[in-house]
Chain A
């Protein structure tokens, strides 16, 4: 199983972005208050590719109870086919479902649906929403048809579509600007290698930067750096591109065997190519530990890593064989396992909900 190296790539990003965006958008719509007490955590189970079995697993910290699919039980219907991103913003939680062409907006305390926002063509085919980020009351959703949708989080209506590069994946906000990675992976091997930078006041692309080939993830730190992870084309090595969001120039582009980042303060957690969880110092831009896990815990197919910026805990999901139930492991900040839980298939995102 060790041989399943890079899969981690895909995953964690989502989460990283989530957290990151929280930092940056301070104000306007209130985020989780750092002092609030956690009620529990949600895990987004992507399900089997193409099959309508995406799920939302909920773990309640107080009652210690695990609900395999709380979206199903709260709404008497399934999430749909291939959910890809999950985030909480203000008093709403957003679940991005790729093949179903939906963003399910739910109450994070109950998982009850508030609205199902459709991203579909006239023939009802999905525009394939992929990832979501937030800024000043708007949600930004990447669509595989080469657009970013602007969704008003109060009215839950789409106000605009902004054309970007090919098959945009993740997106993140830094210095009032939106960084959208254009993967172009559906045309493999003729992939994309750019980041579209969108000014969030004018909602227009102001610059397109060349980054590593076939980028898939982006995260931001509190120093204004934007980290872009790229798969590259095998056998070339995966890359990490760092953009300075003050100047919007590429500071560095290096081979980097792992990603994406989940950043908490100065520490980025990521899954390395060898399937372990490593850390990276975003302040000094250098590798930290060779293995974050200190108690010998191993994973079959480490899939996503998410740091809880409030508690300092680090959550690592394990996709196992990618077609049956996975696991999520909770570690304390020293890398000692606290507990683990069973999730659904392909646990790709973890978010934390306050009481």
Chain B
């Protein structure tokens, strides 16, 4: 599907040429890699509309989810939109329909969030970050954000290897003989010149076999107006070079004898061309950077749970991605920069779990991954990286306690065709998760976890224009969390109320930091930075029935984050908040459904932030609050269910930016018609 972080390229790009020429410096465009990315919004949405209407929040480590039915509630278009209400989440949003969107959880940075696609990690060896704007929601059934890791210990080993996990699950067909197929056709259109038709075909093939195929096309010119004050003009300017042209197809073949005997084979194809609108340029025309992606992967999974208590999970994947970066406004010999990257990823995972008793389960998972990258850039290393992940885990229930623990070994070995390879490394990282239910009659859960993880360098950090070899260490994170979750069913107007609160302390050391120097002899990536993060996530969610035949849902997520740079007491910004990290973020979602109508309102508030490590007035970014609204109407056309929806983003046309110099769009609209056959 989609993966790959364009951005990085261009971020990194500049520096390089620079090496010799530009006097300038500094980071670019993307800005973020730097010390800290964080930004935006957060909040909760626990919504998981399962059989009971009560969202399940009582996971052992905090988990937040959103599913199909709720995408409209938050007027979401892509995965990044859908999770922006989660607590503890900062979306770095570079604005517009084609703008890069990455997620940093609890101020740990986007590189420390793994994205799983149907249980298997989307691995981008080059950039490490996944651009969530590339995932539309047409084929998504549920998105879950796990702090630490997924709860079930029957997992791939890789799922244990990141500080946080964002799990995307696509729609699986659930059909019976009476209607062995389901076809959903829809079209979205609206602001930014968006036209986005999509089609989903689900087919029951036999008692055990079924099939689903999705395809979509997205065309948008990406233009929008924004108010530019920094150049003294204070007029409306138009953001350009944000056009996107995407063709996408994915599908799966499923065999399910039972819940404990399942097989799947999935493919995903993503092809896109888009502009990379850089930072706003005062007084002159902006840049001409373009990005082309062609990604393909095929993956397969098999799950078997024997009555003996032995459980087996096998996953395999092959992924290929092609990236072309083009900049036509360059004063070099050819007048342009044209770079090509081809990445291959081979992945195999086996996990075995065993129920020692009904209350005690143990598991062992082992993954092997081989990634390589080819590129035509100057003196490229052509690295091939072998990564081995091995983890043992235990999950024990004793009375009111549930104790989970695991120990992960990661082994990484690089080979290169030219220049020196990074040193091989092996490391053990543990996690311990404990929950306690003090009352059998009450849905109160107390929980705590500790998790240590490390993030190895990406190919970009290690080898991209590494004219001087870079000696880099992995980036380590430690997370400590204590919290409580409480659910109460009610009678009367309120159906239920869910409350959870988690306080955490994270520490990041040896942060891998991009240094925008100009000299070819200077490492442009270094281990520089320590961050102390103290935070609080509070989530409240309630369902209620204000009137007969009306159903209401209210959710609020509040995040407090103090993320201080503790790198070096002599730094000017020692003990100051890291860039793009608001102290307070509040996300609120409220909505009503009445018969076939639904009306929803979403608001996200972010307190002020600084765009730089220095918390001084020059770098101050004011607080903002952005509202969205959506209206949904469902009816039958003939006998076919039709849904029409109208979504408005930035309802009050606020002028704001999440990332400095990347203005966000004003009010925009989206119309969707969808018919199910």
CB neighbours (8 Å) of A321 from chain B are 513, 515, 528, 613
Is A146 interfacial (CB 8 A cutoff)? Answer: yes
Please report the C-alpha to C-alpha distance between residue A166 and residue B330 in the assembled complex, in whole angstroms: 12
CB neighbours (8 Å) of A231 from chain B are 19-20, 519-520
Please report the C-alpha to C-alpha distance between residue A120 and residue B24 in the assembled complex, in whole angstroms: 19
Given contacts A186-B332, A321-B515, contact A50 B284 (CB under 8 A): no
Contact of B519 among A5, A81, A97, A187 (CB under 8 A): A5
Could you tell me which residues of chain A, from 33 to 86, have a CB within 8 Å of some CB in chain B? 46-53, 55, 68-69, 75-82, 84
Residue contact A5 to B521, C-beta cutoff 8 Å: yes
Residue contact B20 to A51, C-beta cutoff 8 Å: no
Is A155 interfacial (CB 8 A cutoff)? Answer: no
Please report the C-alpha to C-alpha distance between residue A184 and residue B334 in the assembled complex, in whole angstroms: 12
Interface residue SS majority, chain A: loop
**20 pairs, CB–CB < 8 Å, chain A vs chain B:** A9-B519, A11-B23, A48-B28, A49-B24, A50-B26, A51-B28, A51-B661, A52-B231, A78-B230, A79-B282, A167-B21, A184-B21, A185-B21, A188-B520, A231-B19, A234-B520, A234-B521, A321-B515, A322-B515, A325-B572
Give the Cβ gap from B346 to chain A, nearest Cβ, in Å.
Answer: 33
Name the CB-closest residue of A to B467.
A234
Given contacts A99-B281, A102-B284, contact A4 B20 (CB under 8 A): no
**Among listed B10-18, B427-435, B447-455, B587-595, interface-contacting one:** B10-18
Residue contact A186 to B21, C-beta cutoff 8 Å: yes
Contact of A3 among B14, B513, B522, B661 (CB under 8 A): B522
CB neighbours (8 Å) of B517 from chain A are 4, 7, 301, 322
CB neighbours (8 Å) of A345 from chain B are 26, 612
CB neighbours (8 Å) of B523 from chain A are 3-4
CB neighbours (8 Å) of A81 from chain B are 279, 281-282, 284
Please report the C-alpha to C-alpha distance between residue A230 and residue B283 in the assembled complex, in whole angstroms: 32
Closest 9 CB pairs of A and B: A185-B21, A77-B232, A185-B20, A48-B26, A6-B519, A186-B332, A124-B285, A80-B282, A324-B613
Could you tell me which residues of chain A, from 265 to 287, have a CB within 8 Å of some CB in chain B? 273
Residue contact A125 to B285, C-beta cutoff 8 Å: yes
Residue contact A68 to B283, C-beta cutoff 8 Å: no
Please report the C-alpha to C-alpha distance between residue A237 and residue B281 in the assembled complex, in whole angstroms: 36
Most chain A beta-carbon contacts within 10 A, residue among B19, B526, B613: B19
Map CB proximity to A onto B222-233 as digits: 1 under 8 Å, 0 otherwise: 000000001111
Give the Cβ gap from B430 to chain A, nearest Cβ, in Å.
Answer: 32
Residue contact B331 to A51, C-beta cutoff 8 Å: no
Is A108 interfacial (CB 8 A cutoff)? Answer: no
Is A227 interfacial (CB 8 A cutoff)? Answer: no
Interface residue count on the B side (C-beta < 8 Å): 65
Please report the C-alpha to C-alpha distance between residue A44 and residue B611 in the assembled complex, in whole angstroms: 20
Residue contact B519 to A52, C-beta cutoff 8 Å: no
Is A21 interfacial (CB 8 A cutoff)? Answer: no
Is A214 interfacial (CB 8 A cutoff)? Answer: yes
Residue contact B285 to A100, C-beta cutoff 8 Å: no
Contact of B616 among A187, A320, A325 (CB under 8 A): A325
CB neighbours (8 Å) of A166 from chain B are 331, 333
Residue contact A7 to B522, C-beta cutoff 8 Å: yes
Residue contact B21 to A169, C-beta cutoff 8 Å: yes
Known: A7-B519, A49-B516, A116-B283. 4 other contacts (CB 8 A): A98-B22, A126-B285, A183-B20, A188-B378
CB neighbours (8 Å) of A348 from chain B are 23-24
Residue contact A53 to B661, C-beta cutoff 8 Å: yes
Name the CB-closest residue of B to A81.
B281
Given contacts A7-B519, A48-B516, A322-B26, contact A186 B17 (CB under 8 A): yes
Give the Cβ gap from B436 to chain A, nearest Cβ, in Å.
Answer: 44
Most chain B beta-carbon contacts within 10 A, residue among A11, A233, A234: A234
Please report the C-alpha to C-alpha distance between residue A68 and residue B617 in the assembled complex, in whole angstroms: 9
CB neighbours (8 Å) of B332 from chain A are 167, 186-187
Could you tell me which residues of chain B, from 232 to 254, have a CB within 8 Å of some CB in chain A? 232-233
CB neighbours (8 Å) of B16 from chain A are 188
Is A209 interfacial (CB 8 A cutoff)? Answer: no
Interface residue count on the A side (C-beta < 8 Å): 79
Residue contact A50 to B279, C-beta cutoff 8 Å: yes
Please report the C-alpha to C-alpha distance between residue A150 and residue B528 in the assembled complex, in whole angstroms: 44
Name the CB-closest residue of A to B278.
A50
Please report the C-alpha to C-alpha distance between residue A81 and residue B288 in the assembled complex, in whole angstroms: 16
Give the Cβ gap from A329 to chain B, nearest Cβ, in Å.
Answer: 13
Please report the C-alpha to C-alpha distance between residue A46 and residue B573 in the assembled complex, in whole angstroms: 19
CB neighbours (8 Å) of B330 from chain A are 186
Give the Cβ gap from B286 to chain A, nearest Cβ, in Å.
Answer: 9
Is A241 interfacial (CB 8 A cutoff)? Answer: no
Residue contact A145 to B331, C-beta cutoff 8 Å: yes
Contact of B29 among A51, A187, A188 (CB under 8 A): A51
Please report the C-alpha to C-alpha distance between residue A309 and residue B17 in the assembled complex, in whole angstroms: 34
Most chain A beta-carbon contacts within 10 A, residue among B22, B28, B334: B22
Give the Cβ gap from A18 to chain B, nearest Cβ, in Å.
Answer: 14
Is B376 interfacial (CB 8 A cutoff)? Answer: no
Is A128 interfacial (CB 8 A cutoff)? Answer: yes
Is A191 interfacial (CB 8 A cutoff)? Answer: yes
Name the CB-closest residue of B to A113.
B232
Residue contact A187 to B333, C-beta cutoff 8 Å: yes
Is A151 interfacial (CB 8 A cutoff)? Answer: no
Is B176 interfacial (CB 8 A cutoff)? Answer: no
CB neighbours (8 Å) of B359 from chain A are none
Is A106 interfacial (CB 8 A cutoff)? Answer: no
Map CB proximity to A onto B598-642 as digits: 1 under 8 Å, 0 otherwise: 000000000000001110111000000000000000000000000
Please report the C-alpha to C-alpha distance between residue A53 and residue B282 in the assembled complex, in whole angstroms: 10
Please report the C-alpha to C-alpha distance between residue A166 and residue B18 in the assembled complex, in whole angstroms: 14
Residue contact A123 to B331, C-beta cutoff 8 Å: no
Residue contact A344 to B618, C-beta cutoff 8 Å: yes
Is A352 interfacial (CB 8 A cutoff)? Answer: no
Give the Cβ gap from A308 to chain B, nearest Cβ, in Å.
Answer: 22
Is A338 interfacial (CB 8 A cutoff)? Answer: no
